[in-house]
Amino acid sequence: MLAAALIACGRNTPDTAETPSLLPERPAPAATVSEPVPIPKTGEGNFENLVADYESKDRGIWQKPELVISLLGDLTDKTVADIGAGTGYFTFRIVPRAEKVIGIDIDERFIRFLDSVKVRLPVRYRDRFESRLARPDDPCLAPDEADAVIIVNTYGYIRQRVKYLQTLLKGIAPGGTLLIIDFKKNNLPIGPSDEFKVSLVQAEKELEEAGFTVEKIDKEALDYQYIILASKPLKPQHDGSR
């Protein structure tokens, strides 16, 4: 089933044999990397600016990655998918804690970036990580593949979110967890324009419509963002019709 999912979505980008050219700037190192990881230079658009933004040292202050990851609980022997992984800000912080981590993105430049970081991980962690190129309408998870999924700073960019969540639900194991963190719909000093913000109430409604059970909501732990912890029911939900 996994092979079929990958073929349908476009196989994950393999590790490249060539060493990418590097920029002199270095992002803040992920907790799992022994030393700062150089940024692969693509020369495409504003990719370097995106990387610098995602890896900003200030992000550690307002994003509170350790607090966020702790919400997932014990990840031993679990598979975690990071949708909208970008530079792997959360992806590579989760790798030491889980059996497998899948960094998912729809942008091939970030897939190449993730693969360039993978080869710099301690050897014992490399086999735990997989990058996966997905589609805007499909995270490309095999049925019940992930025990936990995180969507951070990405939810507002997903179109037809209920349909997307219904597809995502199939890729999460029964009882599995979905953690969504996104920007509050306020006038904030950071974050996207209101066009790409989804209110907490709307996000909760969409999750329930898609078949998830909302377990926890937190509007206070993060200054600029809300937290939603949802789960896939252990048994299929029925509307009572026959």
| Residue 34 structure tokens | 């022994």
Domain region containing 163:
2-12+20-231
Q: How many domains does the structure of the chain reveal?
A: 1
Q: For the residues of 32-81, what is the DSSP string, one character each? A: T-SSPPPPBP--STTHHHHHHHHT-TTHHHHH-HHHHHHTT---TT-EEE
Q: Is residue 124 a part of any domain in this protein?
A: yes
Is pLDDT of 146 > 60? Answer: yes
Number of H helices, E strands in the chain: 9, 7
The interaxial angle of helices 161-170 and 200-210, nearest 10 deg, is 50
pLDDT the model gives residue 70: 96
**165, HSE (Cβ side, Cα atoms, 13 Å):** 26
| Stated pTM of the model | 0.77
Residue 242 belongs to a domain: no
Stretch 47-63: mean pLDDT: 59
- pLDDT for 123-137, tens place per residue? 999 999 999 999 999
* Structure-token pair, residue 49: 């600016």
**pLDDT, position 47:** 47
Give domain status of residue 58, yes or no: yes
For residues 55-80, average pLDDT: 86
Quote the CA–CA distance of 72 and 79 in Å, as a whole number.
11
What's the whole-number mean pLDDT along residues 102-112?
95
Give the distance between the most distant pair of CA atoms in the chain.
63
Domain membership flag for residue 239: no
Measure the CA–CA gap between 66 and 60, rounded to whole angstroms. 9
Q: Say if residue 206's pLDDT is above 60.
A: yes
Query: Is residue 220 one of the residues assigned to a domain?
Result: yes
CATH number (domain holding residue 38)? 3.40.50.150
| 238 in a structural domain | no
- pLDDT for res 57: 62
The β-bridge relationship of strands 146-152 and 79-83 is parallel
Cα–Cα nearest to 35, from 92, 104, 94, 108: 92
How many whole angstroms separate alpha carbon 167 and alpha carbon 164? Answer: 5
Q: How confident is the model over 46-65, as a mean pLDDT? A: 62
Q: Is residue 27 situated within a structural domain?
A: yes
Residue 61 lies in a domain: yes
Lookup result for tokens 């990881």? 37
Residue 75, CA distances (Å) to 132, 194, 198, 238 in order: 20, 34, 28, 30
- Residue 26 confidence (pLDDT) above 70: no
- Banded pLDDT at 39 (limits 50, 70, 90): very low
